[in-house]
Structure 1
Amino acid sequence: MSGPVIDYRTVFQALPSAVALLTPDLVFADANEAYLVLSGRDRAQVLGRFLFDVFPDNPHDPDPSGVRNLHASLRRVAATGERDTMALQRYDVEDPDRPGVWRERYWSPVNVPVLGPDGEVRLIAHRVEEVTELIKAGGAPDSDRGRVLEAELFGRARELQDVNERLRRAHAREREVALHLQAAMLPAPRPLGHHRAAVRYRPAAGALNVCGDWYDLVDLPDDGRTAVAVGDVVGHGLRAAGVMGQLRSALSAASRVAVGPAQALEVLDRYARSVDGAENTTAVSVYIDWDDRALAYSSAGHPPPALCGPDGTVAFLDRATDPPLGARPEYAGRPQSRTAFTEGSVLVLYTDGLVERRREDIDTGLSRLARSLARHRRADPGPLADALLADLVPATGLTDDTALVVLRL
């Protein structure tokens, strides 16, 4: 039995709560009547405009934390696809009839992602409820109990503002530590003789500037080979970065003495079993033999490197893949494969944040990478790396950390 046909646009306009629909770039796509009435704006003043152009900071407020917190919440929802119920916020609004006159107002916002068929965030439903009447004195209270409640709510609002400010300062200090840690553990690679290479590192949107992804490039002067590797520790932030630093150093050392990539990963596997937090780390190692024009590679549960020939043909190095580090109950050797390359080819190693998307098959991301790589294959490694990121990173930002290595063979 079929149900009634529902006009959802009419329902949206009839909602008693104030709701605006924003694009991931925080531009008004729509707003219901309750939102327009509450904000004191008409439809022409909001639709198609950036949220914070319509409702800018109060220039007389020395610390507009409500504006900053709302911006961070909306960006987080756009990047993660997860809803965010915010704490009470002070967000002053300019009187539309009296330019330059600002009204102190308090809001209770909820930001909800609206996903498209591909699982990406298409819109953000921004619902607000004004609680200014409960926070500020709007006339004589009806009773002593009302005055007590009003004072308590006002005090709680001030406490929340203080907490938000302390959190902001703590985050700023933590980010400064993170930047120093990143520079220490992921330095710019040394020159690889006359071979051209580029690396890029992108933390997930909303994360600190450190993560569990790493890259490493090592010239092996004894036999003229180069070892290249990328890896991915489960998790984000300082803890994952600490594990990453240990594993990166271990693999870099192992690569200098191992006969090939499989043996280097075997050594790393043994070491990872003694490191808390290293479980299920993925990594891939490629040894480039410049004289024989051949690549030897081995993977521990990692997405396959991409090899693009001068003619634009892209092959994924996926014939030597084993489980992640420490995934087997007992230690075992790892497979290794070898393939030839043509001079002028491009080798790309990356972590899964570049190709994986929520609710999307991994093959779709790999195909997207192959098309972009073939299209930009003639560019130098630096511009090529930037082009790959421009093509593959969503407009809402990365939801997972990403490391990228590009080498001209």
Structure 2
Amino acid sequence: MRWGVRECAPHRFRVYAVRVIDAATDSDERLRRLEAVTDAALSRLDVDDLLAELLDRVRELLGVDTAVVLLLDAHARQLVATAAMGLGDDFEAGLRLPIGRGFAGRIARDRRPMVIDDVALDGDTSPLVRGRGVQSVLGVPIFGGGELAGVLHVGTIAPRAFTPDDVRLLEMVADRASVATHSRAGNVDRTTALALQRSLLPTALAEVSGVEMAARYLPGHDAGVGGDWYDVFALPSGWLGVVVGDVSGHGLMSAVVMGRLRSALRAYALVCADPADALQHLDAKVHHFETGNLATVLYAMIPPERDRIHISVAGHPQPVLVDPSGRAELLTAPTDVPLGMGRPATGRRTTVVDFAPGALLVCYTDGLVERRHESIDVGLERLRATVWPGQPDEVCTALMLAVGEERPSDDTALLAIRRLGPPAQPEPQVILAAAFDRAGVALLRRQIAEEAARHGMAADGVDDFVAAVNEVMTNAIRHGGGAGRLRLVSVADDLVCEVRDSGAGFPAESFLTRQERPTPSPVGGMGLWIAQQTSHELQIESGPAGTLVRITAAR
């Protein structure tokens, strides 16, 4: 501090000294108010309230009449009026100003503070600058992450010569506003990304013949929304396309890239009969149109019979296949490089595995199995220990509960597909089993009649069923070596009698397809025709080792 003793008379010195002391006192007051501006309690406000409170405190801090924040719309190259204090009706929220035009536009273009002592001498006619009769203005750029985020300017109705201290103070306030605007942009991006991502992830999967499916999506709590997705679609050929993928990074851009890859892969699936070919095309698309992005993708195709899975893996975690017995194993399909890595990959590979009735395929992104301070092998083992070949929705719920014990820092997409099979046939209940010859036929007829009556069959039905069995046993004695074996079983609500002999066999198809009553002959045929007419169903298996006739009683 220079007191200027030599230059000043005593009276002027006192005045000078008083002004210095006053300035020091004023500086202390400004420091106190600056602490109010940077108060940590402001961070508990939502963004709009925070900006309003911040501008209100700025007016008091600098002793100004108006304060305005304009945020940058980078795509339009415009500043957008976002918040203001002191302008009243002269403030129009959403007003757009081109970069480079007017007071605020020149600050954004030059990226440095600007002061206008008399706005009447400036060509800017914006109400944001001249509103309420403002005479002098000071403005500074707002930066976020080293990039321009907007402009903050203040004004006074009385003429004022803003000082370098005023500029520095307003720059510090702009830094505080930057935190708020950065948070606002992050919240908007996160909300938009989540909305985009969920719009591309169906809440309910379509019903598809031969399989049942379920899926889940869980956003990570640390990095926010990312580029994870799942997709299932039926192709015109009857094949089923199954996709699970993960675009690197987080936030809105990852979600946008994810949406583009999802749409592109669906298009390639229409013209590619092999999963590896479709991923080859998608890889070229990433290299050419999505430069700098990486993605891991699993693409599987399941034929109309649903008996196999054709799968190609681009850097993605291997799916788990659970067989009907409950054994869960990671597929051993070869893993090719992720999409967008290095030069476009050539020779991507497809692996074909069996998909047995009752088996379950579980596809997922790495958020399901990765944890901080834990080997991924632990997560994979936890996955294998949790799944079973049950209802896909129940399996997904169990996996989400396992994840919920320690919510992942990364997004999680999960898709489970179970192959349906023919309904399990009930085990037959054996009622009667005996060998017979000519002498034993009468006894077996009586036993069969008793069991049929006990089964609830009407008297006429009993007579028809016994007559059919009698004809078949007689045929077995006559053409099957003089003896045979009989088994009477109950299958669900049906009563079935099986008669087996050890004869040379005969062309059974010609007997079963005959429509007219046969003419009696030494070759026979009348007995089988009678049995067919008096039963609900007659099945014959005949060959060199013998003949099996299965008679189902009429209902």
TM-score grouping bracket, smaller chain normalisation? 0.5 to 0.7
Q: Does 1:220 align with 2:235?
A: yes
Name the amino acid aligned to 2:290.
D
Measured against aligned partners, the alpha-carbon deviations of 1:126-150 in whole angstroms (never above 9, x if no partner) come to xxxxxxxxxxxxxxxxx87765543
Q: Which ranges in structure 2 are unaligned for 5 or more consecutive residues?
A: 1-24, 52-179, 420-555
**1:147–1:393: structure 2 CA closer, same or farther, 3 Å change rule?**
same
**Identity in percent:** 38
Are 1:199 and 2:209 counterparts? no
Q: Does 1:349 align with 2:363?
A: yes
Whole-Å separation in 2 of the counterparts to 1:174 and 1:330: 31
1:285 alignment partner AA? Y
Note the C-alpha offset of 1:158.
Answer: 7.7
- Partners of 2:361 and 2:189 lie apart in 1 by 35
In structure 1, the partner of 2:102 is none
Q: Please give the per-residue CA displacement for 1:18-43, whole angstroms capped at 9, x wherever unaligned.
A: xxxxxxxxxxxxxxxxxxxxxxxxxx
Pairwise CA RMSD: 2.7
Check if 1:383 corresponds to 2:394: yes
Work out whether 1:325 is the aligned partner of 2:327.
no
Residue 190 of structure 1: which of 203, 206, 227 is its match?
206
Q: Distance in 2 between matches of 1:277 and 1:241?
A: 15
> Alpha carbons of 1:363 and 1:249: their partners in 2 closer, same or farther (altered >3 Å)?
same
After superposing the two structures, state which structure 1 stretch, 333-342 or 157-166, moved more: 157-166
Name the TM-score, length of structure 1 as normaliser: 0.58
Match of 2:380 in 1: 366
C-alpha separation in 2, matches of 1:163 and 1:227: 44
Tell me the TM-score normalised to structure 2 length: 0.44
The answer as to whether partners of 2:315 and 2:337 remain within 8 angstroms in 1 is yes
Alignment CA distance shift 1:257-1:145 (3 Å): closer
Of 192, 202, 206, which aligns to 1:177? 192
Between the two proteins, the alignment pairs up a number of residues equal to: 262
The counterpart of 2:37, out of the listed 155, 158, 161, is 155
Per the alignment, in what secondary structure is the counterpart of residue 399 of structure 1? coil
- Tell me: CA distance 1:233–1:179, structure 2 relative to 1, closer, same or farther (3 Å): closer
Deviations 1:140-195 (A, max 9, x none): xxx87765543332233289446853547666554543343124322343332352
Alpha-carbon separation, structure 2, partners of 1:385 and 1:267: 31
Q: 1:234 to 1:158 in 2, by over 3 A?
A: closer
Corresponding residue for residue 326 of structure 2: 312
The 1:193–1:278 alpha-carbon spacing in structure 2 relative to 1, beyond 3 Å, is farther
- Give the AA of the match of 1:386: T
CA distance in 1, matches of 2:317, 2:292: 18
Distance in 1, Cα, partners of 2:369 & 2:414: 11
Q: Is the 8 A contact 1:234 1:278 kept in 2?
A: no
Q: Which moved more, 1:230-239 or 1:357-366?
A: 357-366
Q: Deviations over 1:179-233 (max 9, x none)?
A: 431243223433323521111111110454x4201111111242x3211011111
Deviation at 1:408, TM superposition (A): 1.2
Shift of 1:281: 1.0
Does residue 275 of structure 2 align to residue 261 of structure 1? yes
Counterpart contact for 1:240–1:277, Cα < 8 Å: no
SS in 2 for 1:298: strand
What amino acid is aligned across from residue 211 of structure 1 in structure 2? G
> Residue 202 of structure 2 aligns to a residue in which SS?
coil
Change (3 A) 1:221 1:391: same
Residue 351 (structure 2) aligns with: 337
CA distance in 2, matches of 1:169, 1:233: 24
Counterpart pick for 1:282 among 280, 296, 310: 296
What's the secondary structure of 1:274's corresponding residue?
helix
Counterpart contact for 2:189–2:252, Cα < 8 Å: no
Report if the CA contact (8 A) 2:246-2:295 is conserved: yes
Contact 2:197–2:259 (Cα < 8 Å) also in 1: no
* Change in CA separation of 1:215 and 1:169 when aligned onto 2, cut-off 3 Å: same
Change (3 A) 1:311 1:273: same
CA distance in 2, matches of 1:393, 1:255: 34
Task: Kindly provide the amino acid, as one letter, of the partner of residue 406 in structure 1.
Answer: A
Could you give the per-residue CA deviations for residues 250-304 of structure 1, whole angstroms, max 9, x where no partner exists? 1122122211211111111111112335633110111112426111111001000
Q: Partners of 2:414 and 2:215 in 1: how far apart?
A: 6
CA shift, 1:407, in A, is 0.9
Cα pair 1:261 1:336 within 8 Å, conserved: yes
CA distance, structure 1, for counterparts of residue 344 and residue 236 of structure 2: 34
Cα separation, 2, equivalents of 1:148 and 1:163: 26
Structure of larger gyration radius: 2
Residues 321-344 of structure 1, C-alpha deviations (whole Å, 9 max, x = no match) = 111112242441201111112201
**Distance of 2:379 and 2:40 partners within structure 1:** 47
Residue equivalent to 1:406: 416
- Cα separation, partners in 2 of 1:279 and 1:169, compared to 1, 3 Å: closer
- The question of whether the paired residues in 1 share the 8 Å contact of 2:223 and 2:410 is answered with no
Asked whether the equivalents of residues 227 and 287 of structure 1 are also in contact (C-alpha less than 8 Å), the reply is yes
Counterpart residue number, 1:229? 243
1:187 maps to a residue whose letter is: P
The answer to which of 363-372 and 282-291 deviates more is 282-291
Query: 1 CA distance for matches of 2:194 and 2:305?
Result: 39
The answer to whether the 8 Å contact 1:243/1:275 transfers is no
The Cα of 1:393 is off from its aligned counterpart by 4.0
For 2:288, what is the secondary structure of its paired residue? coil
Measured at CA, do residues 171 and 328 of structure 1 come closer, stay the same or move farther in structure 2, by a change above 3 Å? closer
